[in-house]
Amino acid sequence: MNLPKASLEDIEIKLLLEGVYQYYGYDFRNYALSSLKRRIKSFMHVEGISNISTLQERLLHNRTCLERFLLGVTVNVTSMFRDPSFYLAFRNQVVPLLRTYPFIRIWHAGCSTGEEVYSMAILLEEEKLYHRCRIYATDTNSKVLQNAKSGIFSLRMMQEYTQLYLKAGGKRSFSEYYTAAYDNAIFRASLRENVIFAQHNLATDSSFNEFHVILCRNVLIYFNQILQKQVHELFYNSLCNFGILGLGRQESLRFTPYEQYYYEIAKGEKLYRRLN
């Protein structure tokens, strides 16, 4: 059988990704190629680089360029209380289950700049559970983790976030959770007290704890099937019996090897409970 011949550009991109992995340990080799290619080309345009071979040479010899590349190719689109019906379902369906645990461990995998981490901290505080929670917020990118840890977000987004918070079942005035300073909203330090921000690469790193909840929303859509399967195995092995897995709206357990090991606890909200 004659397999389709890879284009020269695709070969160069695979060599580029292999070089980045071998030299720095960042593994993009099993990211969905079409969307990754678009982000690489956009980065090249911004950097004024005309071809992929030149990009590879620059990345492997210039750490600063690599840091910019990581920001350019990783997707950091997020918001507070994104898909508010998800958070409302979490309040109604998951919180009662969490009340049965003396201590709760939650993993936000691929937390990006942290908006969803603070959303969950607010929700748990309102449900009087935050004091017995530990949230592990991880991402492969150290720069976005620094932003997440600061708890500082654009003030102009607060009106939109307030509406999402209310739709998610918010119980207070959203402005209670931050202080406005110039163009920034600085969130209360208490919301970070039980959060550990750390680097973790879903493509290369292993499990580091047993969790009652794992949230990985709108990350798997950027992986190919090989890496998706690998990550689902990681999550399954990291969840306690009857633990909760939360995925993004465009993601699903359907047609994965792990579909049979979960059941959906909130129809349409991509909240699943691990079977024993």
Q: Which of 112, 109, 67 is nearest to 230 (CA)?
A: 109
pLDDT at 32 over 90: no
69 and 121 in a single domain? The answer is no
Coil, helix or strand at residue 128: coil
Count of helices and strands (H, E) across the chain: 10, 10
Judge if 92 and 63 occupy the same domain: no
Please tell me the distance from the alpha carbon of residue 258 to that of residue 249, in angstroms, as a whole number: 18
Does residue 249 contact residue 218 with C-beta atoms inside 8 Å? Answer: yes
Confirm whether 164 is domain-assigned: no
If asked whether residues 55 and 110 sit together in one domain, one would say no
102 & 229 share domain: yes
- Of 28, 43, 73, the one marking the end of a domain is 73
The amino acid at residue 219 is V
User: Is 169 part of a structural domain of the chain?
Assistant: no
Sheet strands side by side (includes 178-181)? 152-154, 184-187, 178-181
Reported as type and span, the H/E element at residue 237 is helix 225-238
Predicted confidence (pLDDT) at residue 73 exceeds the cutoff of 90? no
Domain match, 202 and 266 both: yes
What percentage of residues in the chain have a pLDDT greater than 90? 75
- For residues 62 and 36, membership in a common domain is answered with yes
Coil, strand or helix at 103: coil
Same domain, 148 and 206: yes
Q: What is the CATH number of the domain that holds 146?
A: 3.40.50.150
Interval 75-84: pLDDT, tens: 666 899 999 9
pLDDT at 58 over 90: yes
Q: How many domains does the chain have?
A: 2
Residues 228, 131 share a domain = yes
Q: Which domain holds residue 130?
A: 84-152+189-274
Residue 33 falls within a domain, yes or no? yes
Radius of gyration of the chain (CA): 20
The pLDDT value recorded for residue 97 is 97
In tens, the pLDDT along 83-103 reads 999 999 999 999 999 999 999
Does residue 63 lie in a domain region?
yes
CA distance 17 to 35: 14
Domain termination residue (choose one: 73, 100, 120): 73
Helix, strand, coil percent values for the chain (each to nearest 5): 50, 20, 30
